[in-house]
């Protein structure tokens, strides 16, 4: 099973835009089956990855608010990143000025 986080952005036009951060086994950003950007350098989420992701989807007018959805047992997917991955992802998104609400279920 892949480690996967879903990120839902609020757009300025009222719609929501979902994307996934999936470890295959290195982190890559996807929309549905379409790969947007792949980070093959490391199996760990690297600071600055969100900024690169935003550059690739700059045509979307975001409200700088998002929801990050994660399985509450996400860190049980052994072999994918480490226990600090979720915190690194949140910090990276907030560094770019986005407000993040985390939902774990």
pLDDT band at 78; cut points 50, 70, 90: low
**pLDDT value of residue 49:** 92
Sort 67 into a burial class: Cβ within 10 Å, 0-12 / 13-18 / 19+: middle
pLDDT band at 43; cut points 50, 70, 90: confident
pLDDT band at 5; cut points 50, 70, 90: very high
Q: Determine which helix (DSSP H) or strand (DSSP E) holds 27, and give its type and residue range.
A: strand 27-31
**pLDDT value of residue 88:** 93
């Amino acid at each position: 099973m892949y480690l996967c986080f879903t990120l839902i952005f609020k757009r300025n036009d009222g719609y929501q835009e979902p994307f996934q951060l999936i470890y295959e086994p290195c982190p890559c950003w996807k929309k549905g089956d379409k790969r947007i950007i792949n980070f093959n350098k490391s199996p760990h989420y690297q600071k600055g990855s969100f900024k690169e992701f935003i550059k690739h989807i700059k045509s979307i007018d975001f409200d700088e608010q998002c929801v990050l959805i994660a399985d509450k047992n996400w860190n049980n997917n052994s072999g994918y990143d480490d226990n600090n991955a979720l915190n690194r992802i949140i910090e990276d998104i907030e560094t770019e000025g986005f407000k993040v609400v985390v939902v774990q279920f």
